[in-house]
Structure 1
């Protein structure tokens, strides 16, 4: 389209013409939203897409990313015929090589997830690999993961095919049209370009490595950095050419993940792509600014960084050493702090979305367009996509953090993500006012929305090295201490420093009625609190908050640390337009300690002023400790008698010191997040975006007791009524597993009679009950107590029994209510 044809209005404007932006346009059009325009400052694919290697893996440790990548491969297989555009798509399969037992466990877990999604992944022994890859040295390998759906595609062709399909459905693409600014005007976005202005209802930032530049036009600082990624093309290798002619297909794509590179057949030569530890970020300082235009450009070669990987690849596939080097590609790739893309609502910005910062844009591009189109057209996605939600990062992700994490993720692109391992880069962004005290007590920290919380408490002589955490096994150096912490909570008392809770005040005439419409259950009366569930229009679980009623129309809403921007957006988006209600984020002003265990009342009684500690469960009251004001909340996620002590940040050290000094004669011990996770599993308590997500409805989540059916209206009511009438197809259950050296990871496959019947949503060990526990979503007919199923843990089936009660510990809540 010529610039003269720039329309003055469109329903959606997408900024950026790489594969993700074009896929978003295509999927919007497929959804019937054809009045959409894509603006590209140069030619389509001119950013990272044109120089991408084009690999298309489905492998991921994330359920949602695996879904998205699987969808991409399915789309690409049919796209060429669907839009009548030629695409070079080679489905070669792939081998991920495993050097260690732990790596093979990762492969077995991925196989289970893939099989659950209908993909025929296999774990192969080392002796089977030469059948698929005859040029491979296998003497030091344990085996490999074989993915038959993997392969490679021409990035430009697939992008142009998506563009052709979008245009044929009526969507428009304007090339060579740089966006220069944006403003909000009369409920619209006005997008400013060199060719004029275009008004729209929704806007999408799909600007790739320029996403931060575009984000600033909307007042948004996109958390990202840009890394240099190189791959090397080699000349033709006659032996590979002969093998390919004989077999009729290419070699599988090879990934030596423990050595951190991929090796792919490119025509009859090879393509080597390392992810080197001594990596480089670009455009990070005023002395190294991003150029005004970097279209179809590359960085200078920097092969010295790749020398180790090149030598290792030649030892792994010796025939590679016979080939001459043909070309080096060194281009920019954007990285978010955790390596996952940003897809979803732009935090705090109305009717604006992000689909950017993709490190694997070709593999994820098809699925990303689907997800983005669902966000825009429906306000929700088929799969829970929290792993990619832009709101998962909050204000702590400044430039230094993004660069440090981007380099860490890039240099460990293929690393195993062990459940107890904490990555060291970019740490110390947010400290509790008790941080020094917790550290002195032996606290071993991990970040939660940037807040440093103690995961466990080490004793002198304990191994606290990073290396000790590189295992899937339960019995790391922390296990003995976590057991001690849990038993102290059971038998005496424990105190947990818990900075970072997200807190919102809600005030205004009609606040109670509004909350009643927003949540599925009853709204507590003043002085009481309740657990509230927010559902979407489909009845799916959006979030969980503790609601403290301060007055009839004044509330404090408390939610997970990482949910801060997500839940704020949800609340603000649904506020009445007349301004009658006010929501304020007060998260930074307050912090929390949990005091819990059978001795907690006696400890608290010796230091508290102005409180009635006989008040029952689910009450709250103002009080003073050490002369400092606080709010005592009679609730405990640990499942014992206890209180949350909420206080202003500046008052918290004095309160902690008073409680700590009073509690030590009673056996008070500090406990950490690992112990809390064990304690809550024994109670069947759910965690957000694990057990509670939009993958499940409120009824499937076993939360019917939090649904007040006689309310005239609440969000999701019609969908939940319909589900209740039809019958719930799957339900939440607590499983007790036969013991092994590993507990069930998230999304372990559950089978019955050889069939897949569900998945675990979390798992771990309960030290009060001395059992391995998994929370799971099962086919509804299998949730009767005593039903025996099998949970696949790293490829091995373990017998599991559905518990008689979701709570294995204190099922009647007698200890909590004491």
Structure 2
């Protein structure tokens, strides 16, 4: 057992597959002065009892990247580190019972092909050829992933550990961490073997991550589920087939009934994700034990009876096998089912690589991502899907985390539909207008916990959850979205937009500092403008609206979900010892969008504002005796304003505007309509069209780059890119003769049989009556009039590149009127 060193550059807490992968990748990056501390023996948490499945499948671009990388790493790891591993690349079949599931498979196939994987979508007849023991009743087809398989989790972890040790990293086992503190800008990690000082700490503590998080004053949004899988005895027919074929059966997943079935030697391994699931260690009556190393929960097979029967109907030979063993162990879940990889919110020089539901499949890629965060301060792929800062404080409430974790577990294989909202643990953050909007027919969705109206239903509209479980454009919402868009176009619409993240920046030199942080110009007092923040490689970090109140007083406004991400970006780049103040004032304010040609007439009746001030200005005024900041902008792309109010004044302002607006045709509109309206203006959405996967120039944002500024972050990289030639460019596409569906995120673009780009946003424009896609395309094809094909759920449609101006109001004449 290794002795505890006095200091290290990085200390990793947790010796499962993810912790060891993080250590391995740090060492590969040249950071060999790193130490991993494990409470017990390596793998003693979730790793030792993990089933070891290694899929690449995901409809998240970043998760697919991460899992694909894992499979590529694992294939060569045994040789690379000289450690034997059992890694069976068997391929897998995911079964589809519905047309919508087949659409999901087609989307994953397109994404996988883009990433260089030969994923196939096959019919029911082809399934039997690959899996002769299956009954295909009720099936539409399947997705075949040749890269899927299974690995021995303990061998994987030990291989990564050996590789890390061979490069000079250290592992100290049986060394529980008891606390952390900061002294002289370094961390002191307290353990039962003494103290170790370091620059950086990583929480890779698996299902004990919340316990470790509390040492940093951090409440981690997570819970722990009981997951069972059943091992069956040898099946003679399977043994005979496998011997003759010379390989194992593909791993089988019936995702519509929620189980996987894997050949285990000559027996079977069945793993259900049951709806009637169970959380553990969720409250004071069920505390987490001081040590649960290499332990399991008691069997609870009654929960699995329906799934076992369903699996036997699908693969009848399973019914002939005796039960060998039940594994029932803890696995952690975040509220959205994705892991936490990246900077620890609010804690400098601390990172998280924890709460992995599929830790074996993702460990390889997670180690790569974590090492990039630590050594470079940024990742190759945009990893917002796993960034710990995607959750704010509300998500750490135990009842919320447990409710969402159980919901995700019970729907582990569920399809992510564009109009669907999961119902558990809702209503966490309510606008002052919530009840008013509900009375008007609002159907809500949540952003960073804030309930926002997605669309407004009329009596008799189908508002069931089932109705939203479709990729098709048409649904009960479509007619209402169209009416809402046309109300904004022809009269006026009002949208309640609580939760905008906003930060107050003040102090001598604030303007000069801000100018070094954004690519463009800082607006003058009384004006508002967009600021784009680039990283050192010129990639798009974020977009903020910069409202200049005084020469050195600004409000920076950004997306609701960007609150922690953007605040920490700003705070981390403030000069040391600065007199500047940066304050997060998100909770104090709310916002409404009033947009449409009649909006001036409405405000004239209720406000004392100067309504002649031009576009991109702002002013303080009063409505119903309440102060607000009236801002002459509109993400809806029509003439109008944003009404920024104190939270306590929001309802009074809304009531006055609503009453005055009735004779002017004022209607409420929701987020679905806003998305349609912004697509017609080619307005970008954060972490959809704007991400670190693209540079500012690729994003079509050069008009926001002020090249003659002395310096700004990313300037050198962008100047070099401009000189060398931009390889991909942002474009607006119109899909001709579209089918039932609009382009989803990361739909593949084709030209002359080659992949030339991808879509980022897609939807129907109700003012122009066209299917629109915003995307990235090979630079030579970014010319107006160029034609490509967009692959939408397996079918290809002709799409035409539009001019470098919006489809609606291309000269912004309506906006400026």
For residue 637 of structure 1, the aligned residue among 632, 635, 638 is 635
The answer to whether the 8 A contact 1:343-1:371 is kept is yes
Inter-partner Cα distance in structure 1 for 2:13 and 2:360? 18
Inter-partner Cα distance in structure 1 for 2:372 and 2:425? 33
Gaps of 5+ in 2: none
How high is the TM-score relative to the length of structure 2?
A: 0.99
The answer to whether the 8 A contact 1:733-1:806 is kept is no
Inter-partner Cα distance in structure 2 for 1:672 and 1:396? 24
Query: For residues 47-70 of structure 1, what are the alpha-carbon distances to aligned partners after superposition, in whole Å with 9 as ceiling and x for unaligned?
Result: 000000000000001000000000
> 1:39 corresponds to which residue?
37
Whether 1:345 and 2:343 are equivalent positions in the alignment is yes
> 1:587 corresponds to which residue?
586
Inter-partner Cα distance in structure 2 for 1:737 and 1:788? 10
For residue 327 of structure 2, the aligned residue among 326, 329, 342 is 329
Query: For residues 626-668 of structure 1, what are the alpha-carbon distances to aligned partners after superposition, in whole Å with 9 as ceiling and x for unaligned?
Result: 0100000100000000100000011111100000011110111
Gaps of 5+ in 1: none
> 1:665 corresponds to which residue?
663
Inter-partner Cα distance in structure 1 for 2:474 and 2:796? 20
Inter-partner Cα distance in structure 1 for 2:393 and 2:209? 17
1:43-442 aligned within 5 A: 43-397=41-395, 398-442=397-441
> 2:447 corresponds to which residue?
448
Q: Indicate the SS of the match to 2:394.
A: coil
CA displacement at 1:579 relative to structure 2: 2.9
Inter-partner Cα distance in structure 1 for 2:328 and 2:444? 37
> 1:505 corresponds to which residue?
504
Q: Indicate the SS of the match to 2:503.
A: strand
Inter-partner Cα distance in structure 1 for 2:320 and 2:119? 32
For residue 654 of structure 1, the aligned residue among 648, 652, 655 is 652
> 2:758 corresponds to which residue?
759
Inter-partner Cα distance in structure 2 for 1:194 and 1:75? 35
> 1:722 corresponds to which residue?
720
CA displacement at 1:211 relative to structure 2: 0.1
Q: Indicate the SS of the match to 2:393.
A: coil
> 2:550 corresponds to which residue?
551
Query: For residues 737-769 of structure 1, what are the alpha-carbon distances to aligned partners after superposition, in whole Å with 9 as ceiling and x for unaligned?
Result: 022210000000000000000000010000000
Q: Indicate the SS of the match to 2:813.
A: coil
Inter-partner Cα distance in structure 2 for 1:97 and 1:467? 21
> 1:809 corresponds to which residue?
808
How high is the TM-score relative to the length of structure 1?
A: 0.99
Inter-partner Cα distance in structure 2 for 1:391 and 1:137? 45
Inter-partner Cα distance in structure 1 for 2:65 and 2:804? 32
CA displacement at 1:140 relative to structure 2: 1.5
Inter-partner Cα distance in structure 1 for 2:582 and 2:561? 18
Inter-partner Cα distance in structure 1 for 2:425 and 2:68? 31
Q: Indicate the SS of the match to 2:814.
A: coil
Inter-partner Cα distance in structure 2 for 1:806 and 1:138? 51
CA displacement at 1:675 relative to structure 2: 0.1
Whether 1:613 and 2:611 are equivalent positions in the alignment is yes
Cα RMSD after superposing both structures: 0.5
Inter-partner Cα distance in structure 2 for 1:348 and 1:7? 28
Whether 1:492 and 2:500 are equivalent positions in the alignment is no
The answer to whether the 8 A contact 1:805-1:811 is kept is no
Inter-partner Cα distance in structure 2 for 1:480 and 1:743? 16
> 1:25 corresponds to which residue?
23
Inter-partner Cα distance in structure 1 for 2:679 and 2:515? 29
CA displacement at 1:402 relative to structure 2: 0.2
CA displacement at 1:806 relative to structure 2: 3.7
Whether 1:466 and 2:492 are equivalent positions in the alignment is no
CA displacement at 1:612 relative to structure 2: 1.0
Inter-partner Cα distance in structure 1 for 2:124 and 2:338? 31
Inter-partner Cα distance in structure 1 for 2:59 and 2:114? 13
Inter-partner Cα distance in structure 2 for 1:507 and 1:720? 29
Inter-partner Cα distance in structure 1 for 2:221 and 2:239? 44
Point out 4+ residue stretches in structure 1 off by more than 4 angstroms: none
> 1:562 corresponds to which residue?
561
Whether 1:571 and 2:573 are equivalent positions in the alignment is no
